[in-house]
Structure formats: C-alpha cells, structure tokens
C-alpha cells in the first residue's frame, strides 16, 4: 500500500472541513467566533414563546387536537436539525415552545396553520404583476414576461420538464398581501421522499377575535352599511375619488371586524384596505366552501371556492431548479387530488372571454389567454399565475424562495396543517437550565476520559500508544469541526446529552485499537516479522472493526428515529463520532502503522510495545 496517499486524503478532508467551518454556512465574526458550536437550551438558555389555541365561539380545543398540534410543531421546529427544542402543553389551550439561543425568526412560523388552498381568481380590482403557468413540453420551455404573457422558447433541453420565468416583485411565501410564485408542471426525480401531509380541511377563527355582524353594522353606521349592501362590484376610486366617501367608516374597522363581513363586501367596499384584510384572524379564509377576498401585489382579488386543498398533496419537497438556479417547492398530488387539480386547471384553461375568471385575469394582466389560479397559504397568496394547460402531474411552486424558506414551506405541508388556530402569546428570554458550569464539567469529563485512555495506551502499548493518542486527537478535531458546521447549517445543538454521546464514542474507538493490536501480536507470535504482520493483522482485524462500528451506528440510528429531545441528541452525537472514527481508522491508523513497521524503533521490543511477543516468537517458523 501507499500510506502517504491515505494520509494525504485525510489531510484534504481536514482542509475542506475547516474551510467550511471558517468560510461557509454563514460564518461571521472573528477567528474564535467561527469556532463556537451551537449550544443547547440546557447550556446557554434561549427564547420561549407561548401560542394560544382556540376554536370558533371561544370553545376549548379538544385534548386530541392539542396533542396533534404539539406533534406538528415539534416536527416543524426540529425539521432543520437536532435542535432539541422543548414543546409542552400548558393548560387547555397553550403550547409553549423553547428554543436555544435567539430564535425569534424561527418562532414566527411555528404557529402558522399551513392551510394550502388552490382557488380560481374570479375578480380583480386592478393590474398586478405575476408570472405565468404553463406545462412545458419536452422540447419547448415557456418563459414569462413581466406582464405574465407566455412566449415559447426552444432553448430547453428535451425532457427537462422545467420552465424559466421572471419572478414577481416582493415575493414571499409567508407575507400577507404579497405574491410572487409560479406553478408549473415539472418532474422531480431528485425529490426526497417525505411523509404525507395530514392537513385538516378547515381551521377555526379564534374565539377571542370573533366579532358579530351587528357590532360591525353599528360601528360603521346604517347609511354606510346600506350603501355597502347595494354594491355589486368594486368601486373604482381612480375615476372618482369622492366615490369612497360614503364608505369612509369601513376604514376604521379592525381585521377581526372586517372578517365579520361577507367576502363580497370585503372585496367591493373601496375603503377596506389590504392591511385590514391581512390583519384578519388566522383561519379567516380557510373555509373551502366559501369565496374569499384577499390582496395580491397591492390589489384586491376575489377567489372562488377551493376545490383543491393541502390534504390533496401527497408530498412536498424543496428543490433547486437546475435550469434557472431558483429554489422551488415541488408538489406531488394524491390520486384523487391529481384529478381535482386537473379539473381546476381545465376549468381555467378552457374558460371563455365571458367567464368571470377571464375578465379578472384581463384586469390583472391586460391581454391574456386564460384564467388564473391562486395558490393560497393561510391568508397569503403565494402566486396567482395564468393556466396555460391542463396539469395532471407533478407541479412546482416557484418564486423568490431561498433554501430555508423553500424547505420551511415544504415542511409545513408535509407535517400537516395545525388542527386548531393559534395566536401568538408572550415571548421571553429564558436562562440556561444547567449552565456553562455543567458544560465545562462535561468537557472536563471528556478530557479526563481521553487522558486515561492515553495513559493506559502508553503504559500497555508504548510506541503503539502514540498511534492511539494521535488517532483520538484527530477524531476529536474532525468531530468538533463537524458539529460546528452542522450547528451553523442544519441546526445541530450541542447539549450535555450530546457530550455524553461523544464520551461514549471514546470507548468505541479504543475497542478498535485493542482488536487491531492484539491481532498484530497474534501474527508476530506465529513467527512473522512486524513488517509482514502489520498488513495481515489489518486484513483480519478490519472486518471485526467494521462490524463492531456498524452495530454501534445502527443502534444510534434506531435510537435517533424512535426517540426525541435529549436522547435523540445523544444518538446523533454517538453515530456521528463513530462514523468519523472509521474515517480515522482507514485514513490514519493503518497507514501510520505501515510506516512504523518499516522503522527500527518498531522492531525493538522495548520501544514498540510488542515486548514479550517479539522475544518469545518462534524462530523456526518461516514468514508467510
């Protein structure tokens, strides 16, 4: 063998890993700042938020609904890695989530219902910018202009199944009143399988925000209410600014009060703003059997009933579109959902100029060919593209997604919509449950364990003990670099349970040394020289080492899958350190032993640690 090559590969692994640690994954700050692992809630404290659940009429949600909501929130918060968040139910309607460190941005999305609806656009108050929807053929990829018109292009490769488009401005999948996505038919062969969503059909409006129609009627006044009831279409203030004066009192309504109005009144009354519509309670437009008035790109649009919902989606996965380099969310529909989706897109594609949806699309985009379908997540319209064909297969939601927001939306759809509606309660900073002293104690325990192993190794194996010591050092450096990088990119947090997993892995690593060195002694005892005994001992010990480490890794994987919280963190740490130990075994331990076998010191019984074996080895046995 050529030990220099394997040692060179190990050196390259270290260089790549620590380049990632210092310069990738959003690394910032000074030299030491970039070497800080992400610590868990028990060591550095974090942020705690309370979410208050309620159903229509202020009733208390069922225990089953709360347990299901807790499970979904746990899945969402742990979706980016082993964050070991604490999610507990307090009382009858509160769920408290605690995350390590400053986690305000992550907490904002946890209580979103993630109710997805696909609705035909049947009314629009003015022009909006959007991209178009088109099922690409193997040889033609549609491209969208700023106005949403579709122009064929022959630049696509055969079978690509993707389309390029100009993203809409200010697109955000989680911002009310903003659009900016596109749904296209596109195969997703690289999509990672994910669980089927368990979204419920509807979400109730919180009871503490319920307002009666009579209360709203009294607030706006009889005259304004009567004028609003007579409206059959939106009032155009661009031609007559004074036309809005009779409806001035509607501008004073809160989001909850606007929610008490019919969708037609919300849409027709000109003084009801997009901000008021966005301020409606969560779940305000989730009813699939009712039309809905929403805002899209700064203008109000009217949406029809929702024949296709999130529960019709079998799988959602984030993907990087290879053609335009944008992140998208790929959707696969269930069998029945695929039929519903095909029927909806057929209705939009085959509409005539007299259909309301055609008139609405014309108002939105100008000169158009087909109707538009809005992709609605909770209260926000992600996209309202025109339909350029009957879609039956995999579709994509595209827009100005990042890797994080695309995965966030896919996770929300896969883990299911919350069965009850939540409003955000108080958020506060909490102190560490154990503290930095316990972290120092855990690290001290790890150092003492490594020291004891090293002392025993030098005492029993002498020169070979240096191989053990250096291997443990290299394994520790690999593990440290990995947990820093994983903490920054995947959310892995180091807790005392994780430290325990790393300490246990020291014993696993030491076992592999014993197996190798004792096999080496057996080979020398049979009469072989150290130089020839090293490769033979490695060949025999290798399978045992791999088998023993594989069992540990499998045990860690099973424990990670079936457990939660701190136990899951222990399992991840144990599995990670065992895998990295195998890397050190193959790229350092065996090559360095091959180099030692060619030295005079290794041939000395007093120095090598083989001691009595070399002195008592039979001299009349020939080398193999």
Digit-coded pLDDT (tens) for 571-588: 888 999 899 888 888 888
- pLDDT for the residue 307: 93
Spatial distance between the Cα atoms of 380 and 383, rounded to a whole number of angstroms: 9
- Answer positive or negative: Cα dihedral of 12, 17, 20, 21: negative
Please, which pLDDT band fits residue 264 given cuts at 50, 70 and 90? Answer: very high
Residue 331: both structure tokens together: 């959707």
Burial 25-61 (b: 16+ CB within 10 A, else e): bebeeeeeebeebbbbbbbbbbbbbbbbbbbeeeeeb
Question: Does 231 or 155 have the greater pLDDT score?
Answer: 231
Residue 108, pLDDT > 70, answer: no
Calculate Rg over the CA atoms of the chain: 32
- pLDDT for the residue 205: 41
What is the distance, to the nearest Å, from the Cα of residue 216 to the centroid of all Cα atoms in its chain? Answer: 41
Please, which pLDDT band fits residue 612 given cuts at 50, 70 and 90? Answer: low
Average pLDDT rounded to a whole number, residues 399-406? 77
Average pLDDT rounded to a whole number, residues 90-116? 71
Residue 91, pLDDT > 90, answer: no
Spatial distance between the Cα atoms of 119 and 381, rounded to a whole number of angstroms: 10
Please check whether residue 410 is in contact with residue 190, taking contact to mean a CB–CB distance below 8 angstroms. Answer: no
- pLDDT for the residue 158: 27
- pLDDT for the residue 106: 62
Spatial distance between the Cα atoms of 558 and 576, rounded to a whole number of angstroms: 14
- pLDDT for the residue 597: 76
The domains found in the chain, sorted by start residue, are 3-37+434-616 (1.20.1640.10), 41-112+426-430 (3.30.70.3400), 116-202+306-415 (no CATH), 207-281 (no CATH)
CA distances, 198 to each of 71, 156, 206, 304, 411 (Å): 12, 36, 21, 24, 12
Average pLDDT rounded to a whole number, residues 135-140? 27
- pLDDT for the residue 181: 37
Mean confidence (pLDDT) of the chain: 74
- pLDDT for the residue 515: 86
Which of 7-21, 169-183, 256-270, 282-296 bottoms out in mean pLDDT, i.e. has the lowest?
169-183
Predicted TM-score of the model (pTM): 0.54
pLDDT digits (tens, 9 = 90+) for 411-457: 777 776 677 777 777 677 766 666 667 777 777 887 887 788 788 87
pLDDT digits (tens, 9 = 90+) for 595-607: 877 777 666 666 6
């Amino acid at each position: 063998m050529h030990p220099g090559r394997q040692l060179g590969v190990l050196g390259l692994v270290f260089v790549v890993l620590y380049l990632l640690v210092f310069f990738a994954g959003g690394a910032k700050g000074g030299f030491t700042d970039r070497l800080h692992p992400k610590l868990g809630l028990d060591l550095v404290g974090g942020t705690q938020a309370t979410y208050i659940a309620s159903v229509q009429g202020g009733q208390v949600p069922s225990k089953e609904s709360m347990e299901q909501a807790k499970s979904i929130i746990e899945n969402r918060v742990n979706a980016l890695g082993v964050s070991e968040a604490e999610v507990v139910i307090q009382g009858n309607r509160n769920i408290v989530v605690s995350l390590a460190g400053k986690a305000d941005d992550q907490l904002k999305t946890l209580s979103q219902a993630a109710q997805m609806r696909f609705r035909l656009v049947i009314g629009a108050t003015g022009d909006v910018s959007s991209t178009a929807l088109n099922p690409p053929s193997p040889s033609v990829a549609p491209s969208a202009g700023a106005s949403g018109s579709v122009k064929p292009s022959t630049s696509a490769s055969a079978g690509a199944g993707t389309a390029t488009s100009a993203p809409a401005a200010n697109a955000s999948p989680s911002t009310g009143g903003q659009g900016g996505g596109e749904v296209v038919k596109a195969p997703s062969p690289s999509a990672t399988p994910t669980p089927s969503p368990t979204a419920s059909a509807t979400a109730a409006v919180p009871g503490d925000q319920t307002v009666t129609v009579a209360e709203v009627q009294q607030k706006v006044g009889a005259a304004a209410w009567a004028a609003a009831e007579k409206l059959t279409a939106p009032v155009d203030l661009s031609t007559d600014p004074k036309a809005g004066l009779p409806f001035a009192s509607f501008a004073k309504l809160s989001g909850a009060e606007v929610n008490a109005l019919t969708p037609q009144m919300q849409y027709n009354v000109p003084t009801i703003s997009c901000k008021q519509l966005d301020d409606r309670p969560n779940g305000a437009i989730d009813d699939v059997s009712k039309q809905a008035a929403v805002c899209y790109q700064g203008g109000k649009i009217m949406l029809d009933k929702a024949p296709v919902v999130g529960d019709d989606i079998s799988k959602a996965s984030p993907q990087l579109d290879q053609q335009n380099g944008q992140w998208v969310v790929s959707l696969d529909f269930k069998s029945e959902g695929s039929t519903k989706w095909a029927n909806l897109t057929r209705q939009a594609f085959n509409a005539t100029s007299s259909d309301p949806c055609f008139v609405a699309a014309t108002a939105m985009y100008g000169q158009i060919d087909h109707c538009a379908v809005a992709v609605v997540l909770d209260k926000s319209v992600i996209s309202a593209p025109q339909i350029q064909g009957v879609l039956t297969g995999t579709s994509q939601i595209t827009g100005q997604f990042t890797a994080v927001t695309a995965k966030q939306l896919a996770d929300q759809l896969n883990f299911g919509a919350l069965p009850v509606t939540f409003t955000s309660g108080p958020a506060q900073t909490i102190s560490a449950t154990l503290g930095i002293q316990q972290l120092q104690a855990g690290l001290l325990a790890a150092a003492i364990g490594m020291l004891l192993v090293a002392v025993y190794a030098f005492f029993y194996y002498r020169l070979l003990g240096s191989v053990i010591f250096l291997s443990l050092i290299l394994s520790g450096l690999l593990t440290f670099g990995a947990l820093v990088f994983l903490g920054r990119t995947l959310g892995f947090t180091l807790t005392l349970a994780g430290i325990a997993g790393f300490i246990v892995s020291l014993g696993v690593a030491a076992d592999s040394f014993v197996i190798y060195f004792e096999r080496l002694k057996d080979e020398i005892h049979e009469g072989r020289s150290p130089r020839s005994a090293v490769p033979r001992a490695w060949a025999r010990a290798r399978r045992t080492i791999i088998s023993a480490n594989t069992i540990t890794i499998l045990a860690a994987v099973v424990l990670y899958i079936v457990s939660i919280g701190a136990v899951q963190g222990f399992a991840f740490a144990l599995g990670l350190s065992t895998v990295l130990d195998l890397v050190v075994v193959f790229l350092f331990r065996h090559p360095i032993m091959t180099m030692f076998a060619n030295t005079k010191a290794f041939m000395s019984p007093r120095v090598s640690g083989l001691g009595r074996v070399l002195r008592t080895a039979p001299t009349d046995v020939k080398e193999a």
